[in-house]
Amino acid sequence: MSRTTPGSMDNVDLDGYLRMDGTASTGDMVSLTGLVADGITIAGCGWNVRADEADLGDATNGVWATASCTSSSASSTLTVAGGSMDGSSSNANIIYARNAKVTVADVAITGQTSSGAYVAQASTNGDVRLIGVSWRGLDCADAAGWTGMSDCWVDVSSSSGALYVGGTANVAAYRVMNFVPVFVADHSVTTTTVSTSGTCPGAACVVTDVTSVGTSNTDRS
């Protein structure tokens, strides 16, 4: 796909993979729901793509979610939220970012990587976030953080790259009516990774923002 930026694509079933080429015509988000494909490739700049509940992967061709741009000033963004990523026995880098931000959340990845390849790799100015991701049945993060190379091998191949690994959490938005909390839907909740110094918790605790993870909307439960 090139020279066009659709607002949404629903229930697309591809005999192959989805590829976005060149420079996006607008900076608007392309929302994908129910995509079935081998993988997602962004080979260009300025794209903003989100795939919800995608069924990605093929036992022969592998699985991937990658974004690569030639310019650091017009980076692309790819988010895969929910669904599945079922790979082959010799995948290349499954998740990859160069001059781009790639987030994969609440996804179980299967398959094996080929020699020299990784579950996730952040290259030049690449930003990779793995949230609630498992690989071959092993979690990439637990309460202590990244579970290590034996469970989830990842790589930052450039000094300008960054890779974050973490889990999911439940957040509620509510209002009190007649002294009873009532959950409300369609409220945006933004999460941010932070670092701390000093004595925490306490008045001497200093919290510094590291990076914004993303935004989700509440439902009624």
Q: What are phi and psi of 5, to 5 degrees?
A: -130, 90
Q: How far apart are the first and last CA of the chain?
A: 38
Q: What is the residue extent of each domain of the chain?
A: 8-166, 174-217
The 3-state secondary structure of 189-217 reads: EEEEEEEEECCCCCCCCEEEEEEEEEEEE
Question: Computed over its alpha carbons, how large is the radius of gyration of the chain?
Answer: 18
Q: How many CA atoms lie within 13 A of 153 on its CB side?
A: 13
Q: What is the pTM for the complete model shown?
A: 0.86
Which is nearest to 48 in space by CA: 63, 73, 26, 18? Answer: 26
pLDDT, tens digit (0-9, with 9 covering 90-100), for 107-146: 999 999 999 999 999 999 999 999 999 999 999 999 888 9
| pLDDT for 98 | 97
Is residue 93 a contact partner of residue 117, using CB atoms and an 8 Å limit? yes
Q: Over range 22-38, report the average pLDDT.
A: 92
pLDDT, tens digit (0-9, with 9 covering 90-100), for 54-80: 999 988 889 999 999 999 888 999 999
Q: Express as a percent the part of the chain with pLDDT over 70.
A: 99
Burial group, residue 149, by CB count within 10 angstroms (0-12, 13-18, 19+): exposed
